[in-house]
Chains A and B, each alone.
Chain A
Amino acid sequence: MNALALLLVMELGDRFALMGVVLGVLLTAVAYTVYAERRIAAFIQNRTGPDRVGFDLIPQLKFLKGAIGLGQPLADVIKLLMKEDVVPENANKFVHALAPLISLFAALTTIAVVPYAKGVAIADVNIGILYILAITSLGVYGITLSGWASNSKYSLLGGLRSSAQMISYELSMGLAVVSVVVLTNALNMGEIVESQTSNPLNWNVCRNLLGFIIFTTAAFAETNRAPFDLPEAEQELVGGYHTEYSSMKFALFFLAEYANMIVACTVIVTLFLGGYQVPFWTDAPWFVQVGAFITKTLFMMFVFIWVRWTLPRFKYNQLMDLGWKFMLPLGLFNLLIVASTIVIFGNSLPLSILNLVLVALCVAGSFAAKPQSKMA
């Protein structure tokens, strides 16, 4: 009995160490994603971006100053910490402070079930994917409450828009996840990755390209990133739901937003890009698997940033039309096709071919479609 308890404690100790590492990596990654986003945006817009701040206080790191600005995230954090925390006098003070906490909470706890290598996850629960859907939908509360508690018109409108947008795209996201569950026959994140094997042709992005596109698009909307960043449409809503937030509360929203983006990328990688699987190398050592996982995640993050600085923002009616009139039926259609193929053929090869044809048709259709001339 004692030995068993000891084993449990040791096991938990490992989990706690992993938790510390993951949170540390995630928070650092958030800081440097902001930096990377600014640098990539600058590159796309043909400007320089942040290139001044270095680590001059530490002599060994002086060489980092040379026009790459790696100290920028640290400087930003210190600046935000030293700012005054302004709360409007007619705001609901408690909810005003609670909202950024909920946002951060939802962003940080989602990562708990994502496997980083074979058998390496903070929590290996058998309903991992349901846990992810449950926690990410909590994020809506943070945004809605922040909009309501600020007692500002811009905040309220931003919060409402944002919550309507997030729940709309959650449907197509859920449907895309169901199609993955049908393909992999598992709800456990580790099993979902294992069933994709080390052959890239077995990854869900090849077996279910349509599902991947639906899920990724919904993930853009869920993380409130361009082209779905209407809650923060500056021209109409000033700052959206965080108009009345300053100092560390604003920083928490910022943190949550980028943590959400990173977590969304890890989920996309797990569900569709084979997770930690190394191409053509079954049972690779754990550090190679972690490396593969991080590489794929970085690639997806680059795609997120790339899309943000390439596509213009939707109008609100276009956004809702896309979500309800296009993505939802498409998600259902995709799911029924996946299910039919699995039941009738017993394997997913016809599905891969069918999906390629469908996506080719969609792309061709989008090029052929005439732009809407209807005046709003």
Chain B
Amino acid sequence: MIEAYLPIFAMIVIAIVLGVLLLTLGRLLGPKRSNSEKMSTYESGIEPVGTAKARISVKYYLVAMFFIIFDIEVIFMYPWAVNLREFGVSGLVSMITFALLLLVGYFYILKKGGLEWN
């Protein structure tokens, strides 16, 4: 079945080539008149203060971690979903149990205020 993926690989190559081509074209056609003002970072017209590689809110890391937990849950569900008709009631019951277990974690996060953004 690997032949089925050949067009996808071709598509990937075409997409990359197209992107590189457009970027090169833009670089060749555009003017190059740089000065230090133009090359500085935009900060509403004032001189940039410090670097932008500053510390960022821990909230974003939390979101990333929650995402991994729940995304793996969703990934688990795909093989289950395709075979659900064969599994029947037992498959349904086990997935409900699984979802309930995850919901316990979800409510823990919720009550801990992990999803608050104020």
Q: Which residues of A contact B15 (CB under 8 A)?
A: 104-105, 108-109
Question: A105–B1 Cα gap in the complex (Å)?
Answer: 24
- Number of inter-chain CB pairs below 8 Å: 212
A sample of 16 more A-B contacts (CB under 8 A), given A89-B39, A243-B42, A320-B115, is A81-B29, A83-B26, A86-B39, A97-B23, A104-B19, A105-B19, A125-B4, A125-B5, A152-B42, A178-B81, A249-B23, A251-B26, A317-B117, A324-B115, A328-B106, A376-B118
Is the Cβ of A151 less than 8 Å from the Cβ of B67? no
Question: B40, B53, B84, B118 — which one has the most chain A CB atoms within 10 A of its CB?
Answer: B84
Contacting residues, chain A, for B18 (C-beta < 8 A) = 23, 104, 108
Asked if A182 is an interface residue, CB under 8 A from chain B, the answer is yes
Contacts of B23 in A (CB 8 A): 97, 100-101, 248-249, 252
Q: Please state if B63 and A153 are interface contacts (CB–CB under 8 Å).
A: no
Cβ B4 vs Cβ A123 within 8 A: yes
A343 and B91 within 8 A (CB): yes
Measured between alpha carbons, how far is A88 from B37 in the docked complex, in Å?
Answer: 10
Tell me if B19 and A100 are in contact (CB < 8 A).
yes
CB distance from A345 to the nearest CB of B (A): 12
Contact B11 A8, beta carbon cutoff 8 Å: no
Contact-residue bracket for chain B: 35 or more
Of B25, B92, B106, B117, the residue contacting A248 (CB under 8 A) is B25
Whether the Cβ atoms of A152 and B110 lie closer than 8 Å is: no
Using a CB–CB cutoff of 8 Å, the interface residues on chain A facing chain B are 8, 12, 15-16, 19, 23, 80-91, 97, 100-101, 104-105, 108-109, 112-113, 122-126, 130-131, 148, 150-156, 160, 163-164, 167-168, 170-171, 174-175, 178-179, 181-182, 185-187, 238, 243-244, 247-249, 251-252, 316-317, 320-321, 324-325, 328-329, 332, 335-336, 339-340, 342-344, 376
CA distance in complex: A182, B6 (Å): 28
B1 CB contact (under 8 Å) in A81, A122, A126: A126
Is B104 interfacial (CB-CB < 8 Å)?
A: no
Pairwise interchain contact A85-B84, C-beta atoms closer than 8 A: no
Cα–Cα, bound, A125→B27 (Å): 37
Chain B nearest CB from A199 CB (Å) reads 21
**A244 to B52 alpha-carbon distance, docked (Å):** 13
**Chain A nearest CB: distance from B108 CB in Å?**
13
* The residue from B7, B48, B92 contacting A15, defined by CB atoms under 8 A apart: B7
Chain B residues whose CB sits within 8 angstroms of the CB of A12 once the complex forms: 6-7
A81 in contact with B26 given A156-B52, A185-B85, A186-B82 (CB within 8 Å)? yes
A-B contact pairs, 10 of them (CB 8 A): A12-B6, A108-B14, A156-B52, A170-B67, A171-B71, A178-B78, A243-B42, A248-B23, A248-B27, A328-B70
Residues of A within 8 A of B12 (CB): 105, 109
Nearest CB on B from A108, distance (A): 4
Q: Is the CB of B41 within 8 A of A150?
A: yes
Instruction: Judge whether B67 and A171 touch: CB under 8 Å.
Output: yes
B71 and A251 contact, CB distance less than 8 A: no
With A86-B34, A108-B11, A126-B1 in contact, do A151 and B22 touch (Cβ < 8 Å)?
no
Residue B10 interfacial (CB < 8 Å):
yes
Question: Which residues of the other chain, A, contact B27 by a CB distance below 8 angstroms?
Answer: 85, 247-248
B84 close to A343 (CB less than 8 A): yes
Is B101 positioned at the interface, with any CB of A under 8 Å from its CB? no
A122 to B7 Cα, complex, angstroms: 6
Query: CB within 8 A of B99: which of A244, A248, A332?
Result: A332
Chain B residues with CB under 8 Å of A182's CB are: 81, 84
- When distances are taken between beta carbons in the complex, the residues of chain B under 8 Å from A152 are 41-43, 48, 52
Nearest-CB distance from A313 to chain B (Å)? 15
Minimal Cβ-Cβ distance residue in A for B32: A84
Which residues B68-108 have CB closer than 8 A to chain A? 70-71, 74-75, 77-78, 81-82, 84-85, 88-89, 91-92, 95-96, 99, 103, 106
Chain A, residue nearest B39 (CB): A89
Chain B residue nearest to A346 (CB atoms) is B85
Cβ-neighbour of A251 out of B6, B22, B88, B118 (below 8 A): B22
A339 touches B84 (CB 8 A): yes
Best-surrounded residue of B1, B15, B54 (most CB of chain A within 10 A): B15
Supposing A181-B82, A343-B84 touch, asked if A160 and B56 sit within 8 A by C-beta, the answer is: yes
- Beta-carbon contact of A150 and B52 below 8 Å: yes
Chain A residues closer than 8 Å to B22, beta-carbon distance: 248, 251-252
